[in-house]
Amino acid sequence: MRSSIRTTWQKSTVLFVFASIIITLCSIAACFKTDNSNKESLQCGGCSFSRQTIIKTQYKKETEDYCPATNDLHIYEKTTVNRIDRLKNMAKIEAGTFTIGTNEPVFVADGEGPKQQIYLHSFYIDKMEVSNRDFAKFVSVTNYRTEAEKFGDSFVFEGLLDEKVRANVTLVVARAPWWLQVKDANWQQPEGPTSDIKNRMDHPVVHVSWNDAIAYCEWLGKRLPTEAEWEVACRGGLSDKLYPWGNNLIPNGRYRANTWQGDFPSNNTKEDKYESTSPVTEFPPNKYGLRNMIGNVWEWTFDWWTTETRTRGGPNNPSGPSRGTDKVKKGGSYLCHKSYCFRYRCAARSQNTPDTTAGNLGFRCALST
């Protein structure tokens, strides 16, 4: 009897230790969970806002259940063949000293300045934003569900909604009423249940949170670029220029980015041919071979948000402060206009909470050398 009890106790102890290890692994794997109830961050009439919600029970459970260490995310083995495959459609930025920031900030409160010199190790960055086609492959393999799908809604620009969807909207962003919280809006249904991406597979994926972007990058064995890496990549080897190609937004009368033309938010003249997103292959690349570094969609970066230069990580490979509440996004979007949100500049910056999703939020990946 004693032997039986001892054996049973030993088995129970082993199971307990095993369960503890699994829980620890999930914690280490950083299964992101954010409760940003009643939080609102608005700049420039709504360039930056945060999801306002209390985490729903089902969403909270799914978030706790999801753990990269135990889900099929890390499918790319670290072999030479797969590394070569990962580097397809990526540009290498050689190590060096670069200038970021500006001494002529448009939005001082955003921490756009001052100009500073930094050193970066060499790194790779995607030549194009992650497309719907790219993201669909990820979802097909992993069965991943985005945060917008778990929450059951996301933010959509009013001008893109049909009357049927708009009639059922009850929540809007208070100081930016053109942003509507639309039920069932997600990456597959960018404007809600009456829309789809069948003819937009080469457009950037939208309605992806920072957490969703991290999951995708990890699946490929990549990561998000730091803010400094993103800005250096955006500048394309140029210094002290507003845009990836210079200071003229429309050189020789040719549009080189997808932004808003006309009067925001009521009249988009679509002189660049696009009302919403454009294909990730559209518009000429900068000197590093990168497309759509400004306009089209805001792009998530790795860094936590701060407006204090001294807390961004110093002059060598800065990666932002160690903690925060919001993540940095860069590049502006198809909704940006000089009179409203002049943030389609390399030095410009904004922020959202890691669980925020919207119809103009996307990303691209980076990779260390």
Q: What is the DSSP letter of 270?
A: -
In a domain, 271, yes or no: yes
**Within 10 A of 29 (CB to CB), how many other CB atoms are there?**
17
In whole angstroms, how far apart are CA 103 and each of 96, 212, 262? Answer: 21, 34, 29
Q: What is the DSSP letter of 310?
A: G
In a domain, 312, yes or no: yes
Q: Which domain holds residue 200?
A: 83-368
Q: What is the reported pTM?
A: 0.83
The per-residue pLDDT string of the chain (369 residues; one tens digit each, 9 = 90 and over) reads: 433 433 444 444 444 444 444 444 444 343 333 333 333 334 444 566 676 443 444 444 444 443 443 343 344 445 565 777 889 999 999 999 999 999 999 999 999 999 999 999 999 999 999 999 999 999 999 999 999 999 999 999 999 999 999 998 988 888 889 999 999 999 999 999 999 999 999 999 999 999 999 999 999 999 999 999 999 999 999 989 999 999 999 999 999 999 999 999 999 999 999 999 999 999 999 999 999 999 999 999 999 999 998 888 899 999 999 999 999 999 999 999 999 899 999 999 999 999 999 999 999 999 999
Judge whether 225 and 367 are in contact, CB under 8 Å: no
In a domain, 168, yes or no: yes
DSSP assignments along 225-243, one per residue: PPHHHHHHHHHTT-SS-SB
In whole angstroms, how far apart are CA 284 and each of 33, 55, 162, 326, 333? Answer: 38, 42, 32, 31, 16
CATH of the domain at 100: 3.90.1580.10
In a domain, 289, yes or no: yes
Quote the number of domains for the chain: 1
CA-CA distance, 192 to 334, in Å (whole number)?
18
CA-CA distance, 111 to 171, in Å (whole number)?
31
In a domain, 75, yes or no: no
In a domain, 131, yes or no: yes
In a domain, 67, yes or no: no
In a domain, 273, yes or no: yes
